[in-house]
Amino acid sequence: MGLANDTVIINKFVPNEDVAKYNKISDLVILPYRSATQSGILSVAYSFLKPVVVTNVGGLSELVEDKKTGIIINPDSPQEITNGVIEYFRLKDQVDFEMNIKVLLNKNKFGDLTSVFRQIIVDSQS
């Protein structure tokens, strides 16, 4: 596809002090898990407002809004990974992935713990 000069694959452990460097220069984070419950890497990617391509395994895909905060693909398929990356680049000028990630992160915050606990108390008394 002529992308060799524009693509870098880092297939090694990335120490904490280098995580920001890699995320800042990335367009996309690809998580081709074969099995998973959740991923700290997904949370880190979102903290840098990076969209993701994730496989539909375990609870991993539950944290991704397909075609809004990332692309969900089937596991165990190099072709699916390729299709997911192509889909992201096809959509990136139409979909504001960064804003969608910000909205998702804000929805999932416990910014007002007092109201959360009040709701728990009210629900438990019902």
Distance between CA atoms of 31 and 28, rounded to whole angstroms?
Answer: 10
What are the tokens at 33? 């898990």
Q: Report the range of poorest mean pLDDT among 32-46, 61-75, 83-97.
A: 32-46
Packing angle between helix 40-47 and helix 16-25, nearest 10 degrees?
Answer: 60
Given this model, what pLDDT does residue 109 score? 65
Spans of all domains in the chain: 4-125
Question: Does residue 88 surpass a pLDDT of 70?
Answer: yes
The more confidently predicted of residues 88 and 14 is: 88
- Please say whether the beta carbons of 72 and 66 come within 8 A: yes
Given this model, what pLDDT does residue 38 score? 73
Given this model, what pLDDT does residue 115 score? 62
Say which CATH architecture domain 4-125 belongs to. 3-Layer(aba) Sandwich (3.40)
The mean pLDDT of the chain is: 87
Given this model, what pLDDT does residue 14 score? 87
The more confidently predicted of residues 99 and 41 is: 99
Q: How confident is the model at residue 10 (pLDDT cuts 50, 70, 90)?
A: confident
Question: Does residue 113 surpass a pLDDT of 60?
Answer: no
